[in-house]
Amino acid sequence: MPQFDYPCPDCRATSSLHDAGCEFEGRAWPEIERAYTDIVAELTAGPTEERALYDAVDGEWGALHRAALERLQRDERVTERNDVLRLRTSEEFREQVSEPTRDPMRTIYRQGSVPGCHDNAVFAMIAWYEMVGLSWAETRENVVEWLHDSGAWTRGGFEESTPGELVDTKRHVYESGYGWKEKADAAKRVITRHRG
Ligand SMILES: [Zn+2]
């Protein structure tokens, strides 16, 4: 099955297998990718007012463009300040996303994993860094650091004897490019319950 560079703006699928109920199920991929590249091409030229971006796009600014822009913002690729949109440089992006700022990743990142969701939390962290574009070595380093700093490792409940060993057993997650969202949602639910 062909894989695509940009995720579906609604369900984040990167193949034609959309989630059930996805708004863009059945839309042609070239059309979806076009919405992204229209926006990225315009913002690559420089920061742009949101209104001006709508006008700059060839044809009509529709649901697909709107969803693609929202996705780029949610994934921290594009920032907005006083209605001016800006594309992050790749260095800035990598730096920024090493600390997830939106839920469910934010909760996992800040609170750390708890017994009962280690599998899902570690899976989500690895898949997140893969999505962001970090190499395996960088991903491994970040996840190991997170296991220590968030207190997750100290809470126990792991079969492996070191965080590095644990992360290594999940390398397939990185290599397969699985999505992070479902696992992250599941982990967040457990972490939130644990705290409450
Ligand atoms: Zn979709």
What is the rounded radius of gyration, in angstroms, for the C-alpha atoms of the chain? 18
Question: Residue holding tokens 């070239």?
Answer: 30
Q: How close is the Cα of 107 to the center of ligand 1, in Å? A: 25
Predicted TM-score (pTM) above 0.75: no
Beta strands in the chain (DSSP E): 48-49, 78-81, 84-87
Q: How close is the Cα of 162 to the center of ligand 1, in Å? A: 38
Question: Could you give the CA distance from residue 13 to residue 82 in angstroms, rounded to a whole number?
Answer: 31
Q: How close is the Cα of 117 to the center of ligand 1, in Å? A: 26
Q: What pLDDT is recorded for position 94?
A: 74
Say which amino acid occupies 99: E
- Stretches where the chain sits below pLDDT 70 are 1-4
Q: What pLDDT is recorded for position 4?
A: 65
Q: How close is the Cα of 9 to the center of ligand 1, in Å? A: 6
- Tens-place pLDDT, residues 122-177: 999 999 998 887 889 989 999 999 999 999 999 999 999 999 999 999 999 998 87
Cα(first)–Cα(last) distance of the chain, in Å? Answer: 43
